[in-house]
A and B are shown apart, each in its own frame.
Chain A
Amino acid sequence: MFPINETMGQYSELFMLLAAGTYTVAFIAFAWDLARSSKSLKAIDVKAAAAGTSADASAKVTVAAGASVGAGTSRTAGSGEGRLSGPADRAERPSSYASSANGAAGQTADDSMRYGERRAPARVAVALTVLGAAIHAAAVLTRAVGAGRVPWGNMYEFLTTGAFVAAAVFLVVLVRRDLRFLGTFVVGLVIIMLVAASVAFWTPVGHLVPALQSYWLIIHVSIAVLSSALFTLTFAMSALQLVQSHRQRTIAAGGADKLGFMRLVPSALSLENLSYRINAIAFIGWTFTLMFGAIWAEKAWGRFWGWDTKEVWTFVIWVVYAGYLHARATRGWTGTRAAWLSIVGYLCVVFNFTIVNQFFNGLHSYSGL
């Protein structure tokens, strides 16, 4: 057992504070990006509309016709989606539906989320997020060195490390996909987590209780945190998907576009497809969380499953996301309903982490404070 190093612990807290500050500036930059881009995009749209009113009108007609095909059921996810007939056909011809969605709802990103123009505020925001994540990494590392173990042994450490993983996963995904429209959400959540950790759950560096002294802590909790970070991304996307599909429907029906900032967000279908892919990865991660948890429970308590409150909720989350994956293959359950399942699943994750850890008595209670 490594000795405790209080000085390192203090450095860690200083870094956490600096990271939170940097994230806050990044958050403002992301918000600025949303506001500014939507304004300039609107101007472009107005110009385009003036130039080709007739083309726009004809586009609307096809969209409306397409939507009526799906209107018999509750597959309500909006104009871009109405044209697709089922899961087998989903995501098969990105070029065709992305372009029509663009025309219909004034999106700026196609299905692969490539944006044409440079967005200076977004670049600043990402740079600041990278800086914040670097400081945050230093904070997590010094915490680990200070405690002489992996930095996830209590609520404070779950939150600070979890926030770092969320930021890091976001930045990693940014390399592959331009998800900067999620920046305000992800960075905002990271800030909330850091603040909650420092205010409500602050715990000085310390050793682990014997029950947590196992290599399974490293495996089980790290996968749980990573999956939760992915679920966070898909939660944001599913929420935006609902808003976007509502907006697309409104526009397709000839209504006014009241949600200008949503221009920056890809079409509902693009969001759905990408969040499905991320959810699939996170679901495998969650399956491992459940399994490794069971193996650890067997080693620590003598039974691999005992319906402890934490186990119950981990199971509930697994079942909800399993339902989500099935919903994607069930007629009438894709689109909006699947998005709701993804949101419900994430709310369960949050509930499991906050309420269950603190207020429910169970064998996992020691992991609380």
Chain B
Amino acid sequence: MSERVKSTEKSPAEDAPQPGPAHKDGAPKDAVKAAKAGAALPSLGVVGMLRWAWTQLTSMRTALFLLLLLAVAAVPGSLFPQRPANPSVVTQYIKDHPDYGKLLDSLQLYDVYSSAWFSAIYILLFISLIGCVVPRAIAHYRAMRSQPPRTPKRLSRLPEYGTLVLPAEAGIPASDAIEDAAALLKKRGYRVEVRHDDGARPSLGAERGFLREVGNLVFHTSLIGVLVSVAVGGLFGYSGQRILVEGDTFVNTLVGYDQFTPGTNFQSSQLQPYSIQLDKFQATFDRESQGKFGQPIDFTADVTTKENPGAPAKKEVLKVNDPVTLGGTSIYLTGNGYAPVVTVRDGKGNVAMQGPVVAKLQGENYYSSVVIKVPDAKPDQLGFAGFFLPTAFVTEQGISFSGDPDLINPQLSLNSYYGDLGLDKGAPQNVFELDVKGLKELNSRKAEAGGITLAPGNTYTLPQGKGSITFDGVKKYVGVDIHHNPGQLSALIFALLAVAGLIVSLYVNRRRVWVRTGTHEDGRTMVEYGLLARGEDHRLAGEAATLRSLLSRKWNLDADNPETAPSNSSPAGSPEPKKDQ
């Protein structure tokens, strides 16, 4: 949408595009020929090389090429798993594809959008953009302050051209006619300059639509603004996740997060110590429609928030698509599930663990996995792994599945192990996985004692006197994402500016109009006018027609009955489009 200043301002020599460097720096064809005919070309030198490189980079072709390259470079990010979105999937992917997984990693194909090559493309693109926008802005500033260009000798060569003849009896001399036309064009928003110094044939030059280029410049500048805003968000923002079981409270400190991603310049002092407590979570499922029976249709979390430890408590509702804003951050409801409450007693009969265990979603209808680690059990540490089913069904083959997302027939099926859980060594472990390598099995389907199957209220006593486990009941949990992005608002403002600029640059038309008048020997006043568009303008013919009818009305002429060209007007131009020679 934005033709370059260079290519339009200098274009006469470029009308017939020529290959070779001459085209790029816009030197006239003849000059190049002369240079070629002469001695060997002088070497460019360092400065010349840099200037050449800069001209190349800021040329429209390069910009277009980089733009298309950016589109192509963005694609791999949708084909391969991406680290920022899902690091564990990437690790698994590399494991699953030993032949080329590592190679892809070395090509940064799992971090496409922060990779060297992707960054190189968009940085070059933006440098090219700046190199384009700045000279254009300067040129446009000058254009806005200068008068419309001089009246061309032959208006008939312009893309839109017409003549009007004022009869002698109308008594409007050429100088008055040009003032009439000037007044009319001013009213239509044109900037007008009347040129009486042409002698007997006064003329005017008029131009409008400077906003088009302003819109274009605003659009491109705003894109830089969006990029800067994104960078600011990456530098000073942070985000994190936390799982909250009903009754839990999250306090906004680093230890409060299950997972935390700081921005590059993040300081922990940025965190305002607000708190949010999950009072109750309610999931509603579709009981109406046939095909989507059991599909969730509403998630609502009732929470109590405090701006800081001393502030009064406030009841709020947290929903999907409806975050809670607190202490400069926004809190989003991004997941939910069931947390069975269990009590584990160890071999000595003491309660070694009691409370809700977050069950990780695995499949349909909240079919979830459960891992319980009991490091405090004596004499042996205990571990449990298995599944939680809100509505347990068992097929004839003995495969259990969840038939409904609601708690209709909750069931906990577990294997149990004892031994050293490996937690005492201090190495970090995934709480949702139990490494059974160093453990001895107590219960499983294959084991003598069989697996553990518990309904709420049931207790199972572990074999070999290792203790017992009680399924006390079920609570619900939610996963919340907490985000702080200081660049967000400015990104939105710049995006809105960009759209406004885009619309203006596409729909405001920059046009030039010239009018020339003269008096014929027989006393008639001859008026000729021509219109020229800068850039795409499919409504130029319409504008010409409008001007014609407005002028005709002013002088009481019949616009629809075109006058024949007066005898003293310039000869009819060739049908060729205009060429400034």
Contact B159 A93 (CB under 8 A): yes
B408 within 8 A of A: no
Contact B75 A304 (CB under 8 A): no
Main secondary structure of the interface of B (DSSP, over half): mixed
Q: Once bound together, how far apart are the Cα atoms of A69 and B322, in whole Å?
A: 61
A36 within 8 A of B: no
Whose C-beta in chain B lies nearest to the C-beta of A75? B17
Contact A204 B289 (CB under 8 A): yes
Contact B296 A210 (CB under 8 A): yes
Query: Within residues 156 to 205 of chain B, which ones have a CB less than 8 A from any CB in chain A?
Result: 159-160
Query: Within residues 486 to 505 of chain B, which ones have a CB less than 8 A from any CB in chain A?
Result: 488, 491-492, 495-496, 498-499, 502-503
Contact A213 B503 (CB under 8 A): no
A307 within 8 A of B: yes
Contact A316 B71 (CB under 8 A): yes
Q: Once bound together, how far apart are the Cα atoms of A180 and B14, in whole Å?
A: 38
A contact residues around B82 at 8 Å (CB) = 307
On whether A89 and B159 interact (CB within 8 A), knowing A302-B481, A313-B78, A329-B1, the answer reads yes
Question: Using an 8 Å CB-CB cutoff, how does the interface string of B81-107 with A read, 1 for contact, 0 for none?
Answer: 010110000000000000000000000
Question: Using an 8 Å CB-CB cutoff, how does the interface string of B288-318 with A read, 1 for contact, 0 for none?
Answer: 1111100111110000000000000000000
Contact B71 A319 (CB under 8 A): yes
On whether A206 and B71 interact (CB within 8 A), knowing A69-B16, A86-B15, A302-B239, the answer reads no
Whose C-beta in chain B lies nearest to the C-beta of A215? B321
Question: Using an 8 Å CB-CB cutoff, how does the interface string of B441-466 with A read, 1 for contact, 0 for none?
Answer: 00000000000000000000000000
Contact A305 B537 (CB under 8 A): no
Which of A87, A291, A308, A356 is in CB contact (< 8 Å) with B495?
Answer: A291
B267 within 8 A of A: no
Question: Using an 8 Å CB-CB cutoff, how does the interface string of A1-12 with B read, 1 for contact, 0 for none?
Answer: 101101000000
Q: Which of A114-122, A123-131, A276-284 is found at the contact surface with chain B?
A: A276-284
A253 within 8 A of B: no
B483 within 8 A of A: yes
B contact residues around A94 at 8 Å (CB) = 541
Query: Within residues 290 to 316 of chain A, which ones have a CB less than 8 A from any CB in chain B?
Result: 291, 294-296, 298-309, 312-313, 315-316
On whether A319 and B70 interact (CB within 8 A), knowing A88-B3, A213-B321, A294-B495, the answer reads yes
Contact A277 B488 (CB under 8 A): no
Distance of A100 from chain B, by nearest CB (Å): 8
Which of B74, B291, B502 is in CB contact (< 8 Å) with A203?
Answer: B291
B contact residues around A208 at 8 Å (CB) = 297
Contact B64 A309 (CB under 8 A): no
Whose C-beta in chain B lies nearest to the C-beta of A91? B538
B contact residues around A358 at 8 Å (CB) = none
Distance of B537 from chain A, by nearest CB (Å): 7
Q: Counting chain A CB atoms within 10 Å of each CB, which of B1, B85, B496 scores highest?
A: B1
Contact A277 B538 (CB under 8 A): yes
Which of A73, A207, A284 is in CB contact (< 8 Å) with B503?
Answer: A284
Contact A304 B536 (CB under 8 A): no
Distance of A176 from chain B, by nearest CB (Å): 12
A contact residues around B159 at 8 Å (CB) = 89, 92-93
B319 within 8 A of A: yes
Query: Within residues 69 to 109 of chain A, which ones have a CB less than 8 A from any CB in chain B?
Result: 69-70, 72-73, 75, 83-94, 96
Contact B540 A92 (CB under 8 A): yes
On whether A301 and B334 interact (CB within 8 A), knowing A88-B8, A206-B289, the answer reads yes
B341 within 8 A of A: no
B contact residues around A1 at 8 Å (CB) = 297-298
Contact A72 B17 (CB under 8 A): yes
Whose C-beta in chain A lies nearest to the C-beta of B579? A85
A contact residues around B343 at 8 Å (CB) = none
B35 within 8 A of A: no
Q: Once bound together, how far apart are the Cα atoms of A61 and B63, in whole Å?
A: 37
Chain B contact-residue range equals: 35 or more
A323 within 8 A of B: yes
Contact A3 B85 (CB under 8 A): no
Distance of B283 from chain A, by nearest CB (Å): 9
Q: Once bound together, how far apart are the Cα atoms of A91 and B2, in whole Å?
A: 16
Distance of B75 from chain A, by nearest CB (Å): 6
Contact A4 B17 (CB under 8 A): no
Contact A210 B288 (CB under 8 A): no
B68 within 8 A of A: yes
Which of A86, A207, A306 is in CB contact (< 8 Å) with B289?
Answer: A207
Which of B74, B286, B496 is in CB contact (< 8 Å) with A312?
Answer: B74
Contact B288 A308 (CB under 8 A): no
B67 within 8 A of A: yes
Contact A207 B297 (CB under 8 A): yes
Q: Once bound together, how far apart are the Cα atoms of A312 and B289, in whole Å?
A: 34
B contact residues around A86 at 8 Å (CB) = 7, 11, 14-15
B contact residues around A277 at 8 Å (CB) = 538
A198 within 8 A of B: no
Q: Once bound together, how far apart are the Cα atoms of A291 and B491, in whole Å?
A: 10
Whose C-beta in chain A lies nearest to the C-beta of B23? A331
Distance of B398 from chain A, by nearest CB (Å): 30
B contact residues around A89 at 8 Å (CB) = 159, 577-578
Q: Counting chain A CB atoms within 10 Å of each CB, which of B239, B292, B498 scores highest?
A: B292
Contact A84 B577 (CB under 8 A): yes
Contact A329 B85 (CB under 8 A): no
B328 within 8 A of A: no
Whose C-beta in chain B lies nearest to the C-beta of A360? B78
Contact A291 B499 (CB under 8 A): yes
Whose C-beta in chain A lies nearest to the C-beta of B61? A330
A205 within 8 A of B: yes
Contact A302 B334 (CB under 8 A): yes
Q: Once bound together, how far apart are the Cα atoms of A356 and B79, in whole Å?
A: 10
A260 within 8 A of B: no
Q: Once bound together, how far apart are the Cα atoms of A326 and B538, in whole Å?
A: 17
Contact A300 B84 (CB under 8 A): no
B contact residues around A287 at 8 Å (CB) = 498-499, 502
Question: Using an 8 Å CB-CB cutoff, how does the interface string of A235-257 with B read, 1 for contact, 0 for none?
Answer: 00000000000000000000000
Q: Counting chain A CB atoms within 10 Å of each CB, which of B78, B290, B330, B495 scores highest?
A: B78
Whose C-beta in chain A lies nearest to the C-beta of B576? A83
On whether A93 and B577 interact (CB within 8 A), knowing A206-B295, A315-B74, A319-B67, the answer reads yes
A214 within 8 A of B: yes
A contact residues around B19 at 8 Å (CB) = 72-73
On whether A210 and B298 interact (CB within 8 A), knowing A87-B536, A327-B64, the answer reads yes
Q: Once bound together, how far apart are the Cα atoms of A306 and B332, in whole Å?
A: 15
Q: List 17 A-B contacts (CB under 8 A).
A: A3-B288, A87-B536, A89-B578, A206-B295, A207-B292, A209-B297, A210-B298, A210-B299, A213-B320, A214-B321, A273-B538, A287-B499, A299-B322, A304-B485, A323-B68, A326-B63, A331-B61
**6 interchain residue pairs of minimum CB distance:** A92-B159, A204-B291, A206-B292, A329-B3, A302-B483, A319-B71
